[in-house]
Amino acid sequence: MTLTIPELATVRARHPEAIAEAAARRVRRPLLGDDGRLMIVAADHPARGALGVGGRGLAMANRSDLLERLCVALSRPGVDGVLATADVLEDLLLLGALDGKVVMGSMNRGGLAGASFEMDDRFTGHRAEDIERLRFDAGKLLLRIDYSDPGSLTTLESTARAVDDMAARRLPVFVEPFISRRTGGAVRNDLSAEAVTRSIAIASALGGTSAYTWLKLPVTENPDDMAEVMETSTLPAVLLGGEIGDDQEGAYERWRKALRLPTVHGMVVGRSLLYPAEGSVEQAVDTTVGLL
């Protein structure tokens, strides 16, 4: 049974078992297709209380609007799947939007944006057993490391155990590492070549095996540094899209260059596709797919 968005609340209240049933009958696919590329749309921002896009502070707060945008993005040729938290993925399951798609569960969302405990980024989302039970295809976790914040040690340790748990089930886990620091009370990620290199080295070694570990990495401040930075690890990687800002063409060119590197297999892009500064969701998605 495929639902419409207005029907979701009623089914959730009256038939919560419908979620497990939808997960059980979902048509699955391999992580990588024949072209060896991945194009994943990300929508796990709301669970961290990060609802803003550009100057719109609550742009992602309207769930019906977000789901409509996600369904449009997932329907476009070349889009392989979606990264999201349980609530969003279960809505998409009930809408029948995940057949033949890579489904990636977001695992740690405890480091709420702006909170004093932001660097103690605990695993409050999908566990490895949840991803296995729901027949999802991969997990993703965020690893921000602030050398001056003890909370980062908790995140490091729990990340290592999550890598172990996923590997025990032969499930890929995408680790998104940053060297971070607080500036004026806000956490800022360091995108210098040295910092990204250091984050890759740390993330690649976590857990008892790296056999199922992927990296999800930003493009460095100077895109010309990416080739050398990516020599830090042999692990497969995807690029983190992030927000484009005003220089849309410049962002596309930075992504295009980084996508040529041998360990880079694709992209995970969220708000810049779902809420483009210019044009429609279809146009933003098709342009980004074209970069691959």
Which CATH number covers residue 133?
3.20.20.70
Closest CA to 235 of 164, 279, 175: 175
Mean per-residue pLDDT, 93-112: 96
pLDDT-wise least confident of 15-29, 43-57, 106-120:
43-57
Residue 242 has pLDDT above 70, yes or no: no
Residue 19, domain member (yes or no): no
Residue 253, domain member (yes or no): yes
Separation of first and last alpha carbons in the chain: 34
Helix or strand holding residue 42 (H, E): strand 38-42
Q: Are 279 and 252 in contact (CB under 8 A)?
A: no
pTM check: above 0.85: yes
Residue 54, domain member (yes or no): yes
What residue numbers bound the domain in which 108 lies? 36-291
Domain total for the chain? 1
Instruction: Please name the residue that has the structure tokens 């789901």.
Output: 67
Mean per-residue pLDDT, 247-265: 86
Mean per-residue pLDDT, 146-167: 95
Residue 177, domain member (yes or no): yes
What pLDDT sits at residue 159? 97
Residue 2, domain member (yes or no): no
Question: Could you count the other beta carbons within 10 Å of the beta carbon of residue 202?
Answer: 17
Residue 64, domain member (yes or no): yes
Residue 244 has pLDDT above 70, yes or no: no
DSSP class of residue 84 equals E
Residue 20, domain member (yes or no): no
Helix or strand holding residue 196 (H, E): helix 193-204
What pLDDT sits at residue 56? 81
> What is the C-alpha separation between 112 and 240, in angstroms, rounded?
19
Render pLDDT for 23-82 as a digit per residue (tens, 0 to 9): 999 999 999 988 899 999 999 999 998 888 877 889 889 999 999 999 999 999 999 999
Residue 195, domain member (yes or no): yes
Helix or strand holding residue 186 (H, E): strand 186-190
Name the pLDDT band for 291 (thresholds 50, 70, 90): confident
